[in-house]
Chain A
Amino acid sequence: MTTAIYAGKPVEVTDEGFLENPSQWDEQMAREIARAEGIEELTDRHWVVIRFMRSQYEEKGAGPSVRVLGKTSGVSVKELYQLFPKGPAKTAAKIAGIPKPIGCI
């Protein structure tokens, strides 16, 4: 575990940079994490996905996979990869301040 500074606040993050405590998250933090992930500007479409990730996490305790995102978030899988080229489920979860999605086994 390490400490990172986002939006001027120190937060605990995992080795891979996921927030340890999702309740510490705020929108300014999201913009800074996004920049660190190579996404300069979060557009409205990014926010649709980020908000969806957070609501899913609050409801189910885990972020959805790309397939589930594509079926339920209103953003197609193709567009998800355009928005988050390095992997939508992982990158969007990181920006949304929720834990890394559990990969399928």
Chain B
Amino acid sequence: MTKRVVIVGGGTGGTIVANRLRRAEPPDELEIVVVDQDDHHVYQPGLLFVPFGLAKLDEITRPRGHQLHRGITYRLGKVDRVDVEAEQVLLEDGSSLGYDVLVIASGAVLAPEETEGLTGPGWGEKVFTFYEPGGATALHEALERFRGGSIVVNVIDMPIKCPVAPLEFCFLADSYFHDRGMRPDVKLTYVTPLDGAFTKPVASSRLADLLAAKGVELVTEFNTAEVDGHGGRLIGYDGREVPFDLAVVVPLHNGAPFVGRSPGLGDELGFIDVDEHTLQSRAHPNVFALGDAAGVPVSKAGSVTHFQGETLVENVRQFLRGAPLDALYDGHANCFIETGFGKALLIDFNYDTEPLPGHYPSRVGLPLLKESRLNHLGKLMFQPLYWHGLLPGRDVPGIGADMPTHGKSTATVP
């Protein structure tokens, strides 16, 4: 009998899983349905470049269905909730989809309204976010109009997608204003709730050095209570204030709202509680999750989603056969960090190993934790690789789910 896998979300993770699964299982044995609420697949890392005029929305957006292989059903519709007992996905239009296996790849949503004042006066005028397409475009216009003053980049609280993106924004802003010949007229400040520039100690100190070298002030352990757009200041819970003429804010993130409406599916923030290695739900064995939707202790990043996709597909196949799940995700993550002036650095880590210097994926490869022109090209080259390599579910040579260790100077870890 044909079984059915329903995948909620046709973004990075949903597309990778659908395509890999389709390649592995014949259509007469497994039906694959992908549900998404819209038809605009955005290459989200590209959003970082939009405010600086380095990318345009139409260049980083494609129709979702085109990214899915033949033999996959693409269903345009918004999921209202999941009934895990009845094994049904209920859509807002009143229809429902039964499943044998449910894969949740519904990403994260921004919740700017959860921070006092953030969506109040000044929102869209001098307070922006580049984390969604509309905001990135509006910020581009604001930067073009900017004639000097103080810009703050503020992360409200973790977890956020791609925790390095706001740092990259600082580096690119430094480069952008330099190119416009007005860098001395712009004060850049990075305001973070963390106790350093980044979460992982070795990378954190390197990134803090880079911020300093580029004249970006670093304010740490700042927990934003309120964004006063009218008065132009961030107000912390401890009473500290940071004034601004323009604020670039990364709002709080939650899981997709349908998760909260589906009893037994997610945690307090709407992320899915899955085993961090098998990606199987702890409460419901026929439910799996990956990417930004998954509540696992790892960065919410496209690279993570990609690596998890490989593991998840293996485990779903094992599950359908009634076999034990033996594919284990090791927490592997890597990211290119744009550092401005045509350069970038690369970090690579997993659950147990923090980002190390060296080269990736082996001794002859891209330099790790070091600025280089090669890494910048890596990031730019990534968009075609995304559409033509990762999403179709091809194995990209050298970029596998398990973190490579050769080529790294493990000796330098304290």
Is the C-beta of B215 less than 8 angstroms from some C-beta in chain A?
no
| Chain A residues positioned under 8 Å from B269 (CB to CB) | 67-68, 71
**Size of B's binding interface in residues, CB under 8 A:** 19
Distance (whole angstroms) from the CB of A45 to the closest CB of chain B: 16
Distance (whole angstroms) from the CB of B14 to the closest CB of chain A: 22
Cβ B252 vs Cβ A67 within 8 A: yes
Cβ B268 vs Cβ A71 within 8 A: yes
Cβ B159 vs Cβ A81 within 8 A: no
Cβ A81 vs Cβ B299 within 8 A: no
Listed by A's residue number, 22 A-B pairs whose Cβ atoms lie within 8 Å are A64-B268, A67-B252, A67-B268, A67-B269, A68-B268, A78-B237, A81-B223, A81-B237, A81-B238, A85-B237, A87-B221, A102-B297, A103-B158, A103-B194, A103-B199, A104-B158, A104-B297, A105-B159, A105-B163, A105-B199, A105-B200, A105-B298
Distance (whole angstroms) from the CB of B297 to the closest CB of chain A: 6
Is the C-beta of A7 less than 8 angstroms from some C-beta in chain B?
no
CB contact list, B138-161 vs A, under 8 A: 157-159
Report the nearest B residue to A85, measured CB to CB.
Answer: B238
Digit string of A82-105 for contact with B (CB within 8 Å is 1, else 0)? 000101000000000000001111
Say what secondary structure dominates the interface of chain B: loop
Query: What's the Cα separation between A90 and B192 when bound, in Å?
Result: 16
Q: Which residues of B contact A (CB under 8 A)?
A: 157-159, 163, 194, 199-200, 221, 223, 225, 237-238, 252, 267-269, 297-299
| Chain A residues positioned under 8 Å from B157 (CB to CB) | 65-67
Cβ B299 vs Cβ A105 within 8 A: yes
| Chain A residues positioned under 8 Å from B298 (CB to CB) | 105
Q: Which of A64, A102, A103, A105 has the most CB of B within 10 A?
A: A105
| Chain A residues positioned under 8 Å from B268 (CB to CB) | 64, 67-68, 71-72
